[in-house]
Structure 1
């Protein structure tokens, strides 16, 4: 099955959390991200939807 890539804001909305929380989960290694180019302050990333589903089910 193909991975859907979500923007940080969309992942945050699904988690009912802030974008900062999503970045913390990524940097803590609890959620994987795909880098999309580079940004000046934070690199632009996308979140794999299947991994977000696993996190929400408590499998990650």
Structure 2
């Protein structure tokens, strides 16, 4: 079992402005295929897109 009392908790903020601008250009029903940059994963990009959509009330 991990030692939760010794856990280090931090808050990281990511600049989502590029993701928000991209989402604003899309219309409902569009399908997008995004090429990933070196070091990016599809999971990370999807999390960022979902966070940007949530912050933009989409």
Q: Same fold (TM over 0.5)?
A: no
Greater share of residues in strand: 1
Q: TM-score, normalised to structure 1's length?
A: 0.28
Bigger radius of gyration among the two: 2
User: Relative contact order (alpha carbons < 8 A, sep ≥ 6): 1 or 2 greater?
Assistant: 2
